[in-house]
Amino acid sequence: MPPSQSCAGCGHAPVCQASGYDRPELSGLRHIAERIGPLRTGEYLYRPLSPFRAIYAVQTGMAKTVAVDVAGREQVVAFHLPGEMIGLDAIDREHHDNAVVALGKTQFCRFPFNAIRQVATQQPDVPWHLMNAASHRISHLQLSGGNYLAEERFAAFLVDLRDRRASLGLSTDHLPLPMSRADIGNHLRLTTETVSRLLGRFRQRGMIQLDRHGVNLLDLDGLRELGQSLLVH
Amino acid sequence: MPPSQSCAGCGHAPVCQASGYDRPELSGLRHIAERIGPLRTGEYLYRPLSPFRAIYAVQTGMAKTVAVDVAGREQVVAFHLPGEMIGLDAIDREHHDNAVVALGKTQFCRFPFNAIRQVATQQPDVPWHLMNAASHRISHLQLSGGNYLAEERFAAFLVDLRDRRASLGLSTDHLPLPMSRADIGNHLRLTTETVSRLLGRFRQRGMIQLDRHGVNLLDLDGLRELGQSLLVH
DNA sequence: CGTGATGTTGATTCTAATCAATAAAGGTGG
DNA sequence: CCACCTTTATTGATTAGAATCAACATCACG
């Protein structure tokens, strides 16, 4: 099956709209998009050493980016929601140096990089749109690299996920957590045990409610206060 | 004194060349550069809430970027060597959310953002050049956010600094460290005491030599091995 | 249903922070 | 140039936060 071209008829226009892709100055991007997937839990969109040929966005579902260092240690570098750009860290490289893995049934949009550069010659806002995404990602990484307590980082993680879902028009009362505790912990520099304990602590305080597929945030203000130092304003 | 325009006659062309700014496709950037400074230790290039109007690069000397969170805690987000872009994290914002501070007598190049966008309409490689810088920064931040031991982070910090100096054609035998131990520690999520102890440990092992203004790396291979997981390859 | 993977909870250990004291450096004014 | 004083750096003793080790519970899946 050849990848379907263009965004015409895509049922997921709303999240793209929320991410700013519906601006007429970016119309060219919509015409070069290819759909990838669905991939299922644990399947790879790309791997370390895969040649860099395209940028991606999640269309539906969720994904993680994982860096693998020389010693083989894995580092979960980001979780991706629909509409969020994937692969900006490889633009200055020949090859990807990390992997992108689906978390649950996930579809992607693929933007071939050659096509992006071609489109950019006609629509000069295109590179600046990517630049804005990169700029935002830099801000986020700078903050999250900071020296904060486990509780602060974890609260910020939950609130950040909620806020990103909110800005995409996704449900905010319930946060699905399709990744493992190990993934969350790895991402936040915590062990699975510590993640479990923090979830338990927040539950005991009545700040969250846990179910099999995720959490309900019962005290968003409380969590936001705990994580405030780590949240972009 | 009005800022001097253009890079013609600038005595620091070599580092810019090493950073790729001498490519003819970027010639427009050279014509809009303004020189700022010299600033002295502790003086600000900009502060949080300063309006975002330009991107900067260090010309000579060294600088740090400091984020200040809601609670007033400071976080040293980066140290900048000559030729390195400053302010990419503010491109999608109206205002800077962090400060840039000179470390020792430091001069900057200022690239007004309006002028950059103007130049970009003539030289389409300009935004992609910034994008490459942003991409590289994302890669670096993703790695350095990882969960590594104090010793690994510190060794990687020293080697990274050396390698960046090497790629700019600066001396590599001696690393000046114009920032305080507190700055280094803050940047690496360590206390000043721990930085001191690590320096002491490396010195005892004969890996470095300490003097008043910086360090000599006596066993680069050893340091590189300690920090290998954190270094981009 | 098992059964292997994932998640929770408790006991103990360890890395780096904190607390504390001293030493060295840098800047200032006489 | 030196004495003084403030800031910065080093080193040691103790503490704390999260990791590790360990046992058990629960879930997903064939």
Residue A5: predicted pLDDT: 58
Is residue B142, in this structure, part of any structural domain at all? no
Asked whether residue B141 carries a pLDDT value surpassing 50, the answer given is yes
Q: Is B84 helix (H, G, I), strand (E, B) or coil?
A: coil
**Could you say which of A93, A135, A189 has the minimum Cβ distance to residue B92?**
A135
**A interface test, pick of B139, B144, B183, B186 with most A CB neighbours within 10 Å:** B139
Which residues of chain B are within 8 Å of residue A143 when distances are taken between CB atoms?
Answer: 67, 69, 75
Residue B1: predicted pLDDT: 43
- Which among A172, A173, A197 is positioned nearest to A184, based on CA atoms? A197
Is there a single domain that holds both residue B212 and residue B123?
no
Average pLDDT over residues A102-118: 95
**Could you say which of A93, A135, A189 has the minimum Cβ distance to residue B134?**
A135
Q: What percent of chain B is predicted at pLDDT more than 90? A: 76
Average pLDDT over residues A166-194: 94
Is there a single domain that holds both residue B196 and residue B166?
yes
Is there a single domain that holds both residue B173 and residue B111?
no
Q: What percent of chain A is predicted at pLDDT more than 90? A: 77
Yes or no, beta carbons of B88 and A134 under 8 Å apart: yes
Average pLDDT over residues A40-57: 95
Asked whether residue A202 carries a pLDDT value surpassing 90, the answer given is yes
| CA→C1' distance for B233 and C19 (Å) | 40
Is residue B3, in this structure, part of any structural domain at all? no
Yes or no, beta carbons of A135 and B90 under 8 Å apart: yes
Average pLDDT over residues B79-85: 93
Q: How many CB atoms lie within 10 A of CB A14?
A: 15
> Distance from A184 to chain B by nearest Cα, in Å?
13
Is there a single domain that holds both residue A73 and residue A170?
no
The whole domain housing A60 covers: 13-125
Yes or no, beta carbons of B228 and A70 under 8 Å apart: yes
Is there a single domain that holds both residue B87 and residue B175?
no
Q: Which nucleotide is nearest to A193 (CA to C1')?
A: C8
Neighbour-count burial for A22-34, b at 16+ CB within 10 Å, e otherwise: eeeebebbbebbb
Alpha carbon distance A34, B140 (integer Å):
29
**B interface test, pick of A121, A128, A144 with most B CB neighbours within 10 Å:** A128
- The model's confidence at residue A204, banded by pLDDT at 50, 70 and 90, is very high
Residue A17: predicted pLDDT: 77
Is residue A85, in this structure, part of any structural domain at all? yes
What are the φ and ψ backbone dihedral angles of A55, each rounded to 5 degrees? -105, 150
Is there a single domain that holds both residue B109 and residue B224?
no
Q: Is B130 on the interface with A (CB under 8 A)?
A: yes
- Which among A55, A103, A95, A60 is positioned nearest to A78, based on CA atoms? A103
Of B84, B110, B137, at which residue does a domain stop?
B137
Average pLDDT over residues B151-178: 94
Which residues of chain A are within 8 Å of residue B232 when distances are taken between CB atoms?
Answer: 97
| CA→C1' distance for B186 and D18 (Å) | 19
Q: Among A46-60, B25-39, B166-180, where is mean pLDDT lowest? A: B25-39
Is residue B4, in this structure, part of any structural domain at all? no
Any idea what the CATH number is for the domain that residue B86 is in? 2.60.120.10
Mean pLDDT, rounded, of chain A:
91
| Number of domains composing chain A | 2
Is there a single domain that holds both residue B123 and residue B46?
yes
Average pLDDT over residues B174-195: 96
Measured from the CB, is B190 under 7 Å from any atom of strand C?
A: yes
**Interacting residues of B9 by C-beta distance below 8 A, sequence separation 6+:** none
pLDDT digits (tens, 9 = 90+) for B99-117: 999 999 999 999 999 999 9
Average pLDDT over residues A10-38: 82
Neighbour-count burial for B126-162, b at 16+ CB within 10 Å, e otherwise: bbbbbbbbbbbbbbbbbbbbbebebebbbbbbbbbbb
Residue A158: predicted pLDDT: 97
Is there a single domain that holds both residue B154 and residue B133?
no
- Which among B115, B66, B61 is positioned nearest to B89, based on CA atoms? B66
- Token pair belonging to B173: 């035998």
Mean pLDDT, rounded, of chain B:
91
Residue B229: predicted pLDDT: 85
Span between the terminal Cα atoms of chain B, in Å: 44
Q: Which nucleotide is nearest to B150 (CA to C1')?
A: C16
Residue B70: predicted pLDDT: 83
Average pLDDT over residues A96-102: 95
**A interface test, pick of B128, B225, B226, B228 with most A CB neighbours within 10 Å:** B128
Residue B150: predicted pLDDT: 96
Residue spans of alpha helices (H) in B123-191: 125-144, 150-167, 181-188
Residue B172 half-sphere exposure, CB side, CA atoms within 13 Å?
Answer: 13
- Token pair belonging to A16: 């793209």
Of A125, A140, A175, at which residue does a domain stop?
A125
Is there a single domain that holds both residue B123 and residue B199?
no
Yes or no, beta carbons of B120 and A124 under 8 Å apart: yes
Q: Output residues with Cβ under 7 Å from nucleic strand D.
A: A 41, 149-151, 185, 189-191, 193-194, 212; B 147, 180-182, 192-193, 195-197, 199-200, 210
Yes or no, beta carbons of A91 and B132 under 8 Å apart: yes
What are the φ and ψ backbone dihedral angles of B111, each rounded to 5 degrees? -115, 100
Any idea what the CATH number is for the domain that residue A156 is in? 1.10.10.10
- The model's confidence at residue B51, banded by pLDDT at 50, 70 and 90, is very high
Is there a single domain that holds both residue A121 and residue A215?
no
Q: Is B104 helix (H, G, I), strand (E, B) or coil?
A: strand
Asked whether residue B227 carries a pLDDT value surpassing 90, the answer given is yes
Asked whether residue A6 carries a pLDDT value surpassing 70, the answer given is no
| CA→C1' distance for B60 and D13 (Å) | 43
Is residue B92, in this structure, part of any structural domain at all? yes
Residue B9: predicted pLDDT: 65
Asked whether residue A2 carries a pLDDT value surpassing 60, the answer given is no
Q: Which nucleotide is nearest to B182 (CA to C1')?
A: D8
Amino acid at B71: A
Measured from the CB, is A180 under 7 Å from any atom of strand C?
A: yes
- Token pair belonging to A38: 């669905």
H or E segment to which residue A196 belongs: helix A192-204
Is residue A107, in this structure, part of any structural domain at all? yes
- The model's confidence at residue B77, banded by pLDDT at 50, 70 and 90, is very high
Is there a single domain that holds both residue A108 and residue A202?
no
**Could you say which of A121, A133, A189 has the minimum Cβ distance to residue B124?**
A121
H or E segment to which residue B108 belongs: strand B98-112
Yes or no, beta carbons of B233 and A70 under 8 Å apart: yes
Residue B25: predicted pLDDT: 86
Of B137, B158, B192, at which residue does a domain stop?
B137
Is there a single domain that holds both residue B209 and residue B159?
yes
Residue A29: predicted pLDDT: 87
**Could you say which of A128, A134, A147 has the minimum Cβ distance to residue B138?**
A134
Yes or no, beta carbons of B146 and A75 under 8 Å apart: yes
- The model's confidence at residue A157, banded by pLDDT at 50, 70 and 90, is very high
Residue A9: predicted pLDDT: 65
Is residue B145, in this structure, part of any structural domain at all? no
| CA→C1' distance for B115 and C28 (Å) | 45
Measured from the CB, is A149 under 7 Å from any atom of strand C?
A: no
Residue B2: predicted pLDDT: 45
- The model's confidence at residue A15, banded by pLDDT at 50, 70 and 90, is confident
| CA→C1' distance for A211 and D20 (Å) | 27
Measured from the CB, is A181 under 7 Å from any atom of strand C?
A: yes
Is residue A119, in this structure, part of any structural domain at all? yes
